[in-house]
A and B are shown apart, each in its own frame.
Chain A
Amino acid sequence: MNNMREPWLYLMPTLLFISLLVLVPLITGISYAFYDFDLISGTKEFVGLDQFIRILSEDALFTKSLLNTLLWTSASLFFQFTLGLLLALILNSGFKGVKFVQPLLFIPWAVPSFLIGLMWVWMFNPVTGPLPYALEAVGILSEPENILSNPDLAMWGPITANVWYGIPFFTIMLLAALRSIPLDIYEAAEMDGVSGFQAFRYITLPLIAPTIIITLLIRAIWISNFAEIIIVMTNGGPANSTQIVSTYIYDTAYQKMDFGYASVISIALLSMLMVYGLILGRIRQKMTTYV
């Protein structure tokens, strides 16, 4: 009996620490969802499930922001990943001067996101930035307008900024994975007469697949929670065309000061991300049992 209890005693300080640091704030946050809560006056009124009914039945903006979140996350993730992988492959080829170029490419990752937002706002502004004219020159725009003010295109502004910001993350992770592949596998394959693409398809890709999956999983969650760039660049506008769930939460909490409803939206987002996480976890399990 004593034997059973002993390990738990050793674990106790850590467990207490974790539950205080993680669980208590989480549960407090979730409990707000059942209250009509005003931060400044500190008034809390229990409203039960009213706010959950509101989000499911009458909140059209939530549905819209959910769809926008899908576009925002999938487009950002797709371009960050493909460009990041490309960059990692180039860097891994070990061309001359790679030691000099590599640190430079990681700079965007170190820039604060508010600054990134401001920088790209000016880039997309026809008065101060080159992008509208460049886009016109290549035929994407019919005139040098600011895409941030066009409800059909506005989302691509923050997405561009986010892609610029997020590429280095994928490059770092994938480069580390690429460098961990033993070279003798490639040598053996070369003797068997395998082409460059085949080597990539059948050796490189399966070996870095676990890293790909885990980085995609982490990044997707980060991106869908990442509101700063959008808040700085468009504030969810024009006409809510760039409103994603996390900017909607921010507006609800800090503009409308409605912490209760903000908590309800957060719970909705949280549960969807958890489902997503579980699915990706399964896929990862399948992919790693390749032997």
Chain B
Amino acid sequence: MIKGAIIFVVLTLGLIGWQALSDRDQNPNNLLIVEVNTSAERTGLLREQLDSFEAENPGLKVDVISLSWGQAFEKLSMMIAGGQFPDVIEMPDFWLSRYVSGGQIADMSTFMARDTFDADLEQDTLDYGSINGKIYTIPYGYYLRAMLYNKKLFREAGVEKPPLTMDEFYQTAAKISELPGASGYCHHGGRGGAVFYYWIMTTMNGSEKFFDEDGNSTFYNQGAIDGLTLISDMYKKGYAPQDSLNWGLNETVSGFYSGTCAMLHQTPDALTSLRKRMNEDDYGSAPMPLGPNGKSFPHLGYIGWSVLEKSTKKQAAFKLVKHLIRRDNHEAWARRSGLVPIYKDIAKNIFSDDGVGAGWLQTTQDDRWEYLINPNHLSDIAEFDNIEVVQSGQAMMLGEQTPEQTAKDWADFLSASQKRWIKENE
């Protein structure tokens, strides 16, 4: 009975949504924007910014479809495959190449260039959203990694400051793990955790490059293997909680605020939930530790706005994207969603407001830290991140396969994919 009722409600909602879509096509002045990283609070902010867009552009109206993150990819693919084309969509970095190679995304190059933006723009912002020199997405903020650390546990273990080098990272984790019931590092072993391996491999290898010029992956370089050996060694010695092997995002954050583990590799949006649960004096953030050559390559992910190639109102859609990343709107957006903004000066404003953002502030302003960008041009990068690395990374931590073998498997996967890409784009 209840199941029947649920099915009925879902069907009705589906019909309403479908009806809304077909209505829109009858009205040439309505734009449709699809958000995928939805939360109630953020949808409110988006709506505010869309309202101001409507006020500034009389005659244009914008409708929003909010998808939940977990099923967004399926739903959006189905919408597009079914011939329902939104005008603007929210585009995570790891989807970009799939949509671009499918010919679904409009090139913004004629509409936006470097001089559209203020001088303090992070210098590679436009490159991040580009494939083969064409701009397909404009990031609305950065998911940059830094290290959160639990000051209370650090004090108890007699460690004075967060680790600056990889050696210190190891030693600190070892010392904290001597405390009863605590581990040094919150390992994110489940889905979403792949970028930690990329950080430790590239940083130990001393270069942020994923490939050499012939398209061979750097993951099988000795430095990269050393990186994997280091982390699997830490796990085996118990410097990370045993069950962190399959932790997802929520488990790592709860592991951190409950004091189960003392160091957390995270993006700044985690601060929103930590602020509610931890005393501000009990935790802080630091940049990711430096590798042997004095450099570190924290991962930077981004989500942006893209315009669909099949949109019938492209000019208006470009205008809308421009409106959403306008400086004032962007600052409000980055602040409320807890992201690193695309403008350096805004980053200063946001992260110097309180002590806990220090790690991100330093990462954005200090040259020793360079950003690590996933090879998002590869169409199977999402598969690599979410399946390949997660499952074989877990097998490595369990001792079922050696770090060297793991590094080789990953390098083989990436090299093959990169070489395919080079061939297709010659």
Residues in chain A near residue B395, CB distance under 8 A: 239-240
- How far does the alpha carbon of A125 sit from the alpha carbon of B190 in the complex, in Å? 14
Q: B residues 292-313 with Cβ under 8 Å of A? A: none
Residues in chain A near residue B73, CB distance under 8 A: 254
- How far does the alpha carbon of A151 sit from the alpha carbon of B396 in the complex, in Å? 12
The chain A residue sitting closest to B76, CB to CB, is: A40
A41 touches B258 (CB 8 A): no
Q: Of the candidates B3, B245, B251, B392, which one forms a contact with A110 in the assembled complex, judged by CB atoms under 8 Å apart?
A: B3
- How far does the alpha carbon of A93 sit from the alpha carbon of B417 in the complex, in Å? 65
| Min C-beta distance of B385 to chain A, whole Å | 9
| Min C-beta distance of A168 to chain B, whole Å | 11
Complex interface: stretch among B95-103, B282-290, B407-415:
B95-103
A237 touches B98 (CB 8 A): no
| Min C-beta distance of A112 to chain B, whole Å | 7
Residues in chain B near residue A154, CB distance under 8 A: 246
A110 touches B254 (CB 8 A): no
A128 contacts B by Cβ under 8 Å: yes
B374 contacts A by Cβ under 8 Å: no
Complex interface: stretch among A15-23, A70-78, A141-149, A265-273:
A141-149
**Helix, strand, loop or mixed for chain B's interface?**
helix
A255 contacts B by Cβ under 8 Å: yes
Residues in chain A near residue B99, CB distance under 8 A: 40
Bitwise, B5-36 to A at CB < 8 A (1) or not (0) is 01000000000000000000000000000000
**Which of A42, A145, A154, A237 has the most chain B CB atoms inside 10 A of its CB?**
A237
A256 contacts B by Cβ under 8 Å: yes
The chain A residue sitting closest to B2, CB to CB, is: A110
- Asked if A256 meets B81 with Cβ closer than 8 Å, knowing A42-B102, A126-B243, the reply is no
Residues in chain A near residue B400, CB distance under 8 A: 239
B2 touches A41 (CB 8 A): no
Bitwise, B229-257 to A at CB < 8 A (1) or not (0) is 00000000000001111111001001100
B383 contacts A by Cβ under 8 Å: yes
**Helix, strand, loop or mixed for chain A's interface?**
loop
| Min C-beta distance of B90 to chain A, whole Å | 16
- Asked if A254 meets B74 with Cβ closer than 8 Å, knowing A39-B81, A40-B99, A239-B395, the reply is yes
- Asked if A41 meets B245 with Cβ closer than 8 Å, knowing A235-B390, A239-B400, A255-B386, the reply is no
The chain B residue sitting closest to A38, CB to CB, is: B102
A237 touches B391 (CB 8 A): yes
The chain B residue sitting closest to A236, CB to CB, is: B391
- Asked if A40 meets B77 with Cβ closer than 8 Å, knowing A110-B3, A148-B243, A257-B98, the reply is yes
Residues in chain B near residue A235, CB distance under 8 A: 190-191, 246, 248, 390
Q: Of the candidates A151, A239, A256, which one forms a contact with B383 in the assembled complex, judged by CB atoms under 8 Å apart?
A: A256
B37 contacts A by Cβ under 8 Å: no
Q: Of the candidates A42, A127, A145, which one forms a contact with B254 in the assembled complex, judged by CB atoms under 8 Å apart?
A: A127
A277 contacts B by Cβ under 8 Å: no
The chain B residue sitting closest to A148, CB to CB, is: B246
B380 touches A256 (CB 8 A): yes
Chain B interface size, as a band, is 35 or more
Q: B residues 78-112 with Cβ under 8 Å of A? A: 80-81, 98-99, 101-104
| Min C-beta distance of A68 to chain B, whole Å | 13
- How far does the alpha carbon of A149 sit from the alpha carbon of B241 in the complex, in Å? 10
| Min C-beta distance of B238 to chain A, whole Å | 11
A36 contacts B by Cβ under 8 Å: no
B398 touches A238 (CB 8 A): yes
Residues in chain B near residue A150, CB distance under 8 A: 242-243
Bitwise, A236-248 to B at CB < 8 A (1) or not (0) is 1111100000000
Residues in chain A near residue B191, CB distance under 8 A: 235
Residues in chain A near residue B243, CB distance under 8 A: 125-126, 145-146, 148-150
B382 touches A255 (CB 8 A): yes
- How far does the alpha carbon of A110 sit from the alpha carbon of B1 in the complex, in Å? 9
A234 contacts B by Cβ under 8 Å: yes
| Min C-beta distance of B132 to chain A, whole Å | 16
Residues in chain B near residue A236, CB distance under 8 A: 391
Residues in chain B near residue A40, CB distance under 8 A: 77, 80-81, 98-99, 102, 104
A127 touches B258 (CB 8 A): yes
| Min C-beta distance of A102 to chain B, whole Å | 14
Bitwise, A34-69 to B at CB < 8 A (1) or not (0) is 000011111000000000000000000000000000
- How far does the alpha carbon of A39 sit from the alpha carbon of B255 in the complex, in Å? 38
- How far does the alpha carbon of A251 sit from the alpha carbon of B387 in the complex, in Å? 8
Q: A residues 199-245 with Cβ under 8 Å of B? A: 234-240
| Min C-beta distance of A180 to chain B, whole Å | 21
Residues in chain A near residue B103, CB distance under 8 A: 41
The chain B residue sitting closest to A234, CB to CB, is: B246
- How far does the alpha carbon of A42 sit from the alpha carbon of B382 in the complex, in Å? 18
B242 touches A149 (CB 8 A): yes
- Asked if A237 meets B246 with Cβ closer than 8 Å, knowing A40-B80, A41-B102, the reply is yes
| Min C-beta distance of B382 to chain A, whole Å | 7
| Min C-beta distance of A42 to chain B, whole Å | 7
- Asked if A127 meets B6 with Cβ closer than 8 Å, knowing A149-B244, A238-B398, the reply is no
Q: Of the candidates B77, B101, B245, B382, which one forms a contact with A39 in the assembled complex, judged by CB atoms under 8 Å apart?
A: B77
- How far does the alpha carbon of A244 sit from the alpha carbon of B203 in the complex, in Å? 36
List 29 A–B pairs whose Cβ atoms lie within 8 Å, in order of A's numbering: A38-B102, A39-B77, A39-B81, A40-B98, A41-B102, A41-B104, A42-B102, A125-B254, A126-B243, A126-B260, A127-B254, A145-B242, A146-B242, A149-B189, A149-B243, A149-B244, A149-B246, A150-B242, A150-B243, A151-B398, A235-B246, A236-B391, A237-B245, A237-B246, A237-B390, A240-B391, A255-B382, A255-B387, A257-B77
Known pairs A125-B254, A149-B189, A238-B394; list 12 more (Cβ under 8 Å): A42-B81, A110-B3, A126-B260, A149-B244, A234-B246, A236-B391, A237-B190, A237-B394, A238-B189, A255-B383, A256-B380, A256-B383
Which chain A residues have a beta carbon within 8 Å of chain B's beta carbons? 38-42, 109-110, 112, 125-128, 145-146, 148-151, 154, 234-240, 251, 254-257
Q: Sort A-B residue pairs by CB-CB distance and give the 7 closest, nearest first.
A: A146-B243, A41-B102, A149-B243, A40-B102, A239-B395, A239-B394, A238-B394
Which chain B residues have a beta carbon within 8 Å of chain A's beta carbons? 2-3, 6, 73-74, 77, 80-81, 98-99, 101-104, 189-191, 242-248, 251, 254-255, 258, 260, 380, 382-383, 386-387, 390-392, 394-395, 398, 400
